[in-house]
Amino acid sequence: MRPRIVYLLAVGLLLLAALAVAGNQTPVRPGPYLHPKVKAKEIKIQKVVALPPIVSMTKQGVKGSEGMSKEEDEASVGFASRVSADLTSSGLSVEAPFTEEALKGNDELKYALADVQKKYDELAPKLYRKPKDVRKARFSLGDMVAVLNSKGTADALVIVRSQGVKMTKGKGMLTGGLIGLATTKNPTFTTYVVIVDAKNGDVLYLDEFLTSGIPKDKVFDKSFKKFVAPK
């Protein structure tokens, strides 16, 4: 077989592999990670309160990176809807009380939510670095989270963080040739879904996914369909 034909076949196979990754959900690390009491069914999760997802997006070009604030807002709404839908399909009762309208007239609730989100972001680097320690019950946000369980009926809070990257065609070609170019059609997101005890803040569940496209896209719908919450 001629060298040029071999080369083209190799490029074709690599391109197909890249497209497969871009179009399907791929756990970044083996998960999910469950608190030992969840795994042992000592803690049952039936009702959850979903916190607003925090999504960041950047466009990477040959000359550098820039923010994508409009796309961030759109993606945040989409992630909130998608995660809530998956939680519901897993058999959980989901409440999402922290709407923009609800927070606008309630400074106490707004500040309480901001404090919990900040506390999580402070813990996140350790959590992501050693996810297996969730299985050893080593992570907690503390009982400060209880203020967000205002009705006292929720078993857990759901926290979502997602970071998206959209490469320009020039950047894609520069970094990965034809394979890199193939991955520039849709932004890719690294997403963490975390569930914490609504009373004491213990981290009960962690999973991490690589997804493609923003939530309104069909490719995203395919890539996020396998998320299953613990019960």
pLDDT for the residue 175: 57
Residue type, 178: L
Q: Across residues 115-123, what is the average pLDDT?
A: 97
Residue 148 maps to a domain: yes
- Phi then psi for residue 175, to 5 deg, are -90, -25
Residue 231 maps to a domain: no
Among 94, 40, 93, which residue's Cα sits nearest to residue 204?
Answer: 40
Residue 42 maps to a domain: yes
Do 155 and 56 contact (CB within 8 A), yes or no?
no
Q: Across residues 100-112, what is the average pLDDT?
A: 89
Percentage of the chain lying above the pLDDT 90 cut: 40
Burial label, 93 (beta-carbon count in 10 A; 0-12, 13-18, 19+)? middle
Asked whether residue 132 carries a pLDDT value surpassing 80, the answer given is yes
pLDDT range class, residue 8, cuts 50, 70, 90: very low
Percentage of the chain lying above the pLDDT 70 cut: 65
Q: Out of 101-105, 121-125, 197-201, which region has the weakest mean confidence (pLDDT)?
A: 101-105
Residue 230 maps to a domain: no
The larger pLDDT score, comparing residue 196 to residue 96, is at 196
Q: Which domain holds residue 138?
A: 3-223
Q: Out of 93-97, 146-150, 206-210, which region has the weakest mean confidence (pLDDT)?
A: 206-210
Asked whether residue 123 carries a pLDDT value surpassing 80, the answer given is yes
Residue 110 maps to a domain: yes
Do 207 and 27 contact (CB within 8 A), yes or no?
yes
CA–CA separation, 156 and 153 (whole Å) = 9
Residue 228 maps to a domain: no
Residue type, 6: V
pTM of the model: 0.78
pLDDT for the residue 21: 40
CA–CA separation, 27 and 167 (whole Å) = 21
Its sign, for the CA torsion 66, 71, 73, 79, is negative
How many separate domains does the chain show? 1
